[in-house]
Amino acid sequence: IPTKQVKPRVNKANTGVETAGVKHSLNPFDELSVEEAVRLRERHTKKQSPIKVDQILALSAGGPKCADTLRTAMAMGADRAFHVDVGDSPDGGPEPLTVAKMLQAVVKQENINLVLLGKQAIDGDQGQTGQMLAGLLGWPQATQASKVEIKDESGTVEVTHEVDGGVETLRAQLPMIITTDLRLNEPRYATLPNIMKAKKKPLEKKTLADFGIEDKKRLKTIKVTEPPARQGGGKVEDVDGLIGKLKELGAL
């Protein structure tokens, strides 16, 4: 029986920058992953998808705040959650390769056959974890998915994904890795009853060591700086002014 796992990576603040105390939320791409997992299950119930989604496991690695994001995922429909506590670190938490290795261990341990991840976290913007995990497991991958369709009971999956200049459709067999793009779906809001229910769902606390993974840092942060500020050049009165200014700036 297939199992689904979703890994919301938290929109974790700061990489040596001054973002402490900012609002944390589920990384938007991971919300899409949770939503898609839940939809795959619903499609089966409505007999639109041939494979039953037995279980949805949400997983997040990070500081104590991760627990909240995992509750959100469960309120959206995930069955249970793992919180891999790596402590709050100022340098953005474990690197994608470490996260991928941890997920590899989780996949094996929990007998998972589809992993949905966001295409990138909006803090680190690396966009690597899904592909790395696919490489480590030797599974097919589809990145930046905008449509996921399970075609038959043997687990043939068709994924339409975004490439430069358009979309491309790929076909692969489960088990596989899919990373989500913004256009995949519209994540639902967790309703109050579901939020209440989510509080009773199991949330297991884990550590990297539980999976035999060491938080090895291969990249050393030298510095984090502000980008050069861009100064607005002011406004013009009319279209002629606009053309004049653009000429002056050498843009026309």
Partner 1 sequence: MLPLARNSVLRAARAQILPSTRTTTAISSAAFARLLSTLAVLEQRDGKIQPSSLSAIAAAQKLGGPITAFVAGANVKATSAAEAAQIKGLDKVVAVENEAYEKGLPENYAPLLVENIQKGEYTHVVAGHSAFGKSLLPRVAALLDVQQVSDITGIESEDTFVRPIYAGNAILTVQSTDPIKILTVRGTSFQGVETSGGGAAIEAGSDPKAPLQTEWVSEELAKSERPDLATAQRVVSGGRGLKSKEEFDRVIVPLADTLGAAIGASRAAVDSGFADNSLQVGQTGKNVAPQLYLCAGISGAIQHLAGMKDSKVIAAINKDADAPIFQVADVGLVGDLFEKVPELTEKLKNQA
Stretch that binds partner 1, among 30-38, 55-63, 79-87, 128-136 (CB under 8 A): 128-136
Residue 221 makes contact with partner 1 by CB under 8 A: yes
**Least distance between partner 1 and beta carbon 9 (Å):** 14
Of 92, 112, 98, nearest to 14 (Cα)?
A: 92
Task: Name the residue nearer to partner 1 (CB basis): 153 or 164.
Answer: 164
**Least distance between partner 1 and beta carbon 149 (Å):** 11
Residue among 95, 115, 187, 203 that touches partner 1 (CB under 8 A)? 95
- Rounded Cα–Cα distance for residues 219 and 226 (Å): 20
Phi, psi of 4 (to 5 degrees): -115, 145
Q: Please report, for residues 49, 129, 152, 158, 163, the alpha-carbon distance to residue 168 in angstroms, rounded to integers and kept in the order given.
A: 21, 21, 20, 10, 7
Give the Cβ contact number of residue 241 at 10 Å: 11
Residue 153 makes contact with partner 1 by CB under 8 A: no
Task: Name the residue nearer to partner 1 (CB basis): 78 or 139.
Answer: 139
Instruction: Give CA angle at 107 (103, 113), nearest 5°.
Output: 125
Of 31, 110, 41, nearest to 73 (Cα)?
A: 31
- Rounded Cα–Cα distance for residues 207 and 187 (Å): 29
CB 157 within 8 A of CB 49: no
Single-letter residue type at 98: T
- Rounded Cα–Cα distance for residues 149 and 160 (Å): 9
**Least distance between partner 1 and beta carbon 139 (Å):** 7
Task: Name the residue nearer to partner 1 (CB basis): 140 or 194.
Answer: 140
- x-marked contacts with partner 1 along 177-206 as a string, rule CB under 8 A: ----xxx-----------------------
Residue 67 makes contact with partner 1 by CB under 8 A: no
**Position of tokens 């890994």?**
7
**Least distance between partner 1 and beta carbon 158 (Å):** 7
Task: Name the residue nearer to partner 1 (CB basis): 46 or 238.
Answer: 238
Residue among 43, 65, 90, 135 that touches partner 1 (CB under 8 A)? 135
Stretch that binds partner 1, among 52-60, 78-86, 206-214, 216-224 (CB under 8 A): 216-224
Which residues within the stretch 157-176 sit at the binding site for partner 1 (CB under 8 A)? 158, 162-173
